[in-house]
Structure formats: structure tokens, C-alpha cells
A and B are shown apart, each in its own frame.
Chain A
Amino acid sequence: MSLLQETPSRPRRASSVRARRFTLTPTTTVYLALVALLIIGSVLVAIDGGVLLDQGGILNILTRSTVLGLVAIGQTMVIVTGSLDLSVAYLVGLCSLVAAETMAGSESMMVPGVLLALAVAAVVGLINGLVITVLKAHAFIATLGIALVIKGYLEHTYTGPAGSVPRTFQHLGYDRIGPVPIAALLMLLIGAGAWWYLRRTRPGYHMYAVGGDLEVARLSGVRTGRTIVMAHVLCAVAAGLAGVFLASRLGSGAPYVGTDAGYDLESIAAVVLGGTVLAGGRGGVVGTIGGVLILSTLDTIFDDLAVDPFFKDVVRGVVLIVAVALYARRQLAGQLSGRSA
């Protein structure tokens, strides 16, 4: 599954390096970069005559982070397993529609709507996983194919927003405690759950094992197929939650809400920015949330400075490449010093 790996895997000596001195792991680097970005951003916005981290600013950063965060948490699990999921963007749109159409404005249908949306997501994830493990299709092609199927269904069935959510359900999207939206707290809670699953449970460790080396994991007795399917189901359910949240935020389901924001590639960018290796086996949810916060802080700073929206994309692309180049450099330096020692 780790066909995305390009650099030859050299012997990893990270443990011996760590024993000698304190090293910056990608996760700490991400949060240091986030703090630096917040400071620089505050100064820039202050020069411009505004305040970055006032109530509105914090609210803005956290709201932006919620949807991308949910999708990226799921994407982290898939990428750690050595796979990847390109179908999440259309899935977000599909789930927002399923939730909103099932609710159809009635409060009694709120729970069934959410459950049905998540069930649809789980089925899509299951199909993704089975196509990859049983039909042996490369994850890139399998999830791209499923994305195209969902896209065809959406284009054929919907021309615009459909369904409506009851007023009560919109509390999920808009309620907040001080400057902190409840949905952002829920996202962080789910992130914590994903962290616990990946780092503290057996199936979680298996994901790292499968992503590190599929064949070695299989020979060690890990059920690799089951692990990959599980990662895809969890990723799809996370995308489904993002869709449900968007339905609550928008008041209805929107077919292209996920693709307009480019959540497929954006979530992969956030995961990689957070220090997870695209080839799998290394990284985690904590870094990913840092990556998501960096992206949404950048957006908020640019909004406050009234920068041309197209400039944001340019900066995003450069930040992504530079960050991954730095990680690659450090990994290489670590290996070289480990080898010479």
C-alpha cells in the first residue's frame, strides 16, 4: 500500500538520536510554528490597526478548523495506515444532504438523520476499504473511483441545496462557550479519541505497523486487510461528521460544499503539514490538528489584512512544500548523524 514512498527507506536510527539529545519532532515543530505564526500575525494585524486574537478572531480560527479538522483526523488514520482517501470531499457533501433530507425540518428526525448520514459514510468507507484490500486496487485509484461514483450520483440527483434541518439542530453549528464554539470542542474531543485509538489500543498500533511495512506486519500476524478497512471506515465516518456539522451550519444539505473547499487535497495537505509521513507508519493526530490550526490561522490573518484571496492559495502551496522539505531534511540529517555515530 505504501507505493507513495519514493525515498529509499534507510535504516531508522531515530531512537538512538533521541537518547543523546532533545530533538524537535515534527509535532513540536508544528506547534512552535503555530505559536510563531500567531505572534507574527498579531503584530502584522496590529500594524494594520486591528486585533488578531480578539473574540471574533479566535472564533473565526476555530470555526474554520472544525470541518477541516474532522476530515483531517480521519485522513490521518488512513495515511498512517499507508493508504489515502480522495473521496472525502464528495462524501462530506453527500452526508450533509443525507442528514438534511432525513431531518426535513422536523426535530424528531434529528437523531435518525445523524445516524443515517454516519451509516452512509461508514458504508462508503467500507467499500473503499474492500476495493483496496479485496480487489487489490491502489488506494489512489480506488478512492478516486468511488469519489467519481459519488460525484455522478450528486450531479445526477441534485441541482442545488436540498433538505432542511430544524432550528434546534442549528445550535450545534452556532452555539459557543465564550469565544469557543461547541463544535470545535467536539472536534477536539474526537481528535483526542482518535489519538487514544491510534496510540493506546491494539488496532491503532496495527495501523502504524501496516503503514510502516505491510509485508512485515502481515508476517507478524497482523490482519492487514481488516486494519486497512477499519482505517477507511473511521476516515469516512469522520468525513460524515463533517458533513453533518456543515448541514447544521448551513441549515440544509449542499452537494458541493466539500469539493468547493477542496477537502480531499486540503485534508491531505493538513495531515502532511502536521508531520505525518505520506508513505505511512509515522505521525499522528496531534500534529494534524496543529497543521489544521496553522492553515486556518493563515486564512484568518489574510482575511484581517484583506489580502487578495488568490494570494492565500499561493502561500498555502509554498508553506506545504517548505514544511515537508524541512521534515525530509531533518529526517535525512538524523539518519546521517545516526549512521556516522
Chain B
Amino acid sequence: MRWRPRLAEGTAPVLVVLALLLVALAFAGSAYSEPAGYLALLKRAAPLVILAIGQYFVIVSGGFDLSVGSLVTAEVVIAARLIDGDDANTAWVIALLLGFGILVGLVNGLITTRLLVPSFIVTLGMLLVLDGAVFLWSGGAPRGALSPSFRVFGRGGVDVPVLGQVPWSVIILLVVLIAAVLFMRGGTGRTLVAVGDNENAVRLAGGRVEALRLLAFVLSGVLAALAAILLAGFAGVSAQVGQGLEFRAITAVVLGGVLLGGGRGSVVAAAAGALSLEALFSLLNLLGVPAALESAVQGVIIIAAVAYANLGGRLRLRKPSPSVP
């Protein structure tokens, strides 16, 4: 028996793009001639990939989560204030941060499912509330400091025999990714995709649409908290740490071929989309493209990717049914 990887529909193109980018990186920079360079890239990309996985759950079930960027900022500001540089506080603050992520996800999900407000509006409102509330609480600027044991997750690593030092964030990322893949292959994950595709069909088939939607928002919230922990360790405390991350995460998910509106796409592709985006930024950096133009390139690329996916998909769909006018 030959083992063939089972790839979900639409995963292949983004993996090809990712492979091309990684090869291009090897040619462009000497740092990428050995595994350490790629590990550093993975470490840098880990927060965005985790955010994209969380965003994937919401998007594939037919929603949007615009609140993750401000949630990341909120978590980082809260962490710095509560830890205040003391190692003794690390453990309970991490638990509290994950709890806060779950809480925000719960509120987003409950308002979306119970009050029937579109998730775009709910999470936009949440974005405003979080932005305002955090700075109201901290008095306008982040205060306090992170402890060394908190920053280990974003900065430190463990020694592995063959690879050398593997960053904690890469290990956390792999655990999250494997858990997400297993979840999406199980019954709950499949029903989640079905909710995005046809909510009424799931409801008529006895699926618990509201509970699944709620679950997607909670997962997005808790993963955003996790991403914030890694990002705070990696980049330190700032009030701008989460700015624009919501759009970047959505871009990554869409780059992975996941359909906005739900019902199509795989979680591996979403993660690969996030990694591609980060690899692209590294490549542009190595090629000496000014940082200011990065966003312009990003803009052109997402439009091109979506256009390619849609036009390609339409041509493929048209072929088998020539009789339909």
C-alpha cells in the first residue's frame, strides 16, 4: 500500500506557494541555508499562524472575528500590569489570560447566536470596547513589566538532539495545529464546516448550530490569548502590538483558500496561508523592498490569490455541465 496524504480541497495551491517561498528564501538569504533559519521563521510566524487557526474556525462556520487584534493588545497590557515583573505571578496570570480569551469569545458568540446580531458588528463592537476598556483601566499607556518566566514561551526554547534548540513557540504551534487538524477531522469539526455551508440543513439534520458557532468564537478567543502570550514574550509590551492583526489573520485564512462566508477550506491551508504571509514578508525584507511597500505587496497578493481561486474554481465547475445554459 502506498501512503497518500489526504489533502482537503483547495489546500494544494497554498502549499505550492509556501514551498516556492521557502525555496526562494534559501536562495535569497544565507540564514536560510540551515534549519535554524527556518526555525527562526517559524518562531516569528507562530503567533500569526495560531491567530489564523482561531480565525479559521469562525470564518469556516460563516462568521468574522474582528476583535482578535484588540484582544491581543488587551491581553498583553493586562499581562504586563498584573505580572509587574514578578516571576511568582506568571502561572496564575497565564491562566487568567486564557480565561479572558474564553470570556471574550463567549460574549462574541452569545451575542451573535442569541441576539442575532451579525458577527461582523458584534466583533467590531467588541474591538471598540476592548480598545477603550484596556486603556481606561491602564490609564492610557501600558504599565508594569513581564517576568522572565512569562517571556520564555515567546523567546526561549528547549534543546532537541538533532535540530538543536527548538523554540517553545514552535512546539506550541505544532501542538495547536495537530489538535486543530484532529478536531476538524472529527464529527464536530465536520459539522462546523457544514454550518458555514448550509445552516438550515444542519439544523434540520439535528445539528446544534448555535452551540457550534459559540464554540468557534470561544476557540478564536482562547487562541488569540495564546498568540498574545507568545507575542508578548517575543516582542515585549507595547500598545500597538495587536494593531491590524485581525485583518492580517483574515488575509492569511483567505490566502489559504478558505471561503469568506464559510463552508469551504481546511485548517492546514489556513495555517499555511499565515506561514506564507510571514515568509513573504521575510523574503521582501531580504530582497530589500522598503518596509513601507510591504502592505502594498500584501494587498496585491491577496486580491490575486482570491481572484485566482475564484476564477479557477469557476472554470472547473463549468466543464462538467455544458448543457446548462
**Chain A residues near B (Cβ < 8 Å):** 3-8, 131, 135-138, 140-142, 144-149, 151-153, 155-156, 265, 268-269, 272, 278-279, 308, 310-318, 320-321, 324-325, 328-329, 332
Contacts and interface: CB of A to CB of B under 8 A. Distances in A.
B311 A310 contact: no
Contacts of A136: 307, 310-311, 314
Interface stretch (B8-16, B133-141, B163-171, B220-228): B133-141
Given A138-B260, A317-B128, A278 B120 contact: yes
B267 interface: no
Contacts of B235: none
* Shortest 10 CB-CB contacts between residues of A and residues of B: A152-B296, A313-B132, A148-B299, A317-B128, A3-B261, A155-B292, A317-B129, A135-B307, A314-B132, A145-B303
A265 B126 CA distance: 12
B125 A320 contact: yes
B302 A6 contact: no
Interface string B63-103: 11010000000000000000000000000000000000000
B299 A310 contact: no
B176 interface: no
B296 A148 contact: yes
Interface string B304-325: 0011001100100000000000
Contacts of A314: 128-129, 132-133, 136
Nearest to A158: B292
Contacts of A310: 131-133, 135-136, 140
A151 B306 CA distance: 20
A231 B130 CA distance: 32
Contacts, number: 160
Given A155-B291, A314-B136, 11 more contacts: A3-B261, A135-B307, A151-B295, A152-B298, A153-B296, A310-B132, A314-B133, A317-B126, A318-B129, A320-B121, A324-B121
A131 B302 CA distance: 12
B199 A144 contact: no
Q: Which of A8, A324, A328 has the most CB of B within 10 A?
A: A324
6 contacts: A4-B118, A140-B64, A141-B254, A147-B299, A152-B297, A325-B117
A6 B63 contact: yes
A18 B20 CA distance: 60
A148 to B, nearest CB: 3
B293 A156 contact: yes
B200 interface: yes
Q: Which of B120, B251, B300 has the most CB of A within 10 A?
A: B120
Contacts of B303: 131, 135, 137, 141-142, 145-146
Interface residues of B, number: 53
Chain A residues touching B, majority SS: helix
A152 B126 contact: no
Interface string B276-291: 0000000000000011
Given A156-B290, A308-B136, A320-B125, A131 B307 contact: yes
Interface of B: 62-64, 66, 111-112, 115-122, 124-133, 135-136, 140, 199-200, 247, 250-251, 254, 260-261, 290-300, 302-303, 306-307, 310-311, 314
Nearest to B116: A328
Contact of A141 (B111, B119, B127, B260): B260
Q: Which of A148, A308, A316 has the most CB of B within 10 A?
A: A148
A136 B121 CA distance: 24
A317 B117 contact: no
Contacts of A312: 132
B136 A311 contact: yes
B299 A145 contact: yes
A151 B302 CA distance: 15
A162 B82 CA distance: 43
Contact of A145 (B130, B136, B300, B311): B300
Given A141-B306, A311-B136, A149 B300 contact: yes
Contacts of B291: 155
A8 B200 contact: yes
A3 B260 contact: yes
Contacts of A144: 247, 250-251, 299, 302
Contacts of B132: 310-317
Contacts of B302: 141, 144-145, 148
Contacts of B295: 148-149, 151-152, 155
Contact of A317 (B64, B127, B300): B127
B298 A148 contact: yes
A135 B310 contact: yes
A135 B311 contact: yes
Contact of B306 (A7, A137, A318, A325): A137
A311 B128 CA distance: 10
A152 B292 contact: yes
Nearest to B140: A310
Nearest to A86: B247
B61 to A, nearest CB: 10
B281 to A, nearest CB: 13
B307 A316 contact: no
A149 B140 contact: no
Contacts of A4: 64, 118, 120, 261
Nearest to A155: B292
A136 B133 CA distance: 39
B296 A278 contact: no
A332 B115 CA distance: 10
Given A138-B261, A149-B296, A321-B117, A6 B128 contact: no
A317 B125 contact: yes
Contacts of A156: 290, 292-293, 296
A200 B271 CA distance: 48
Contacts of B247: 144
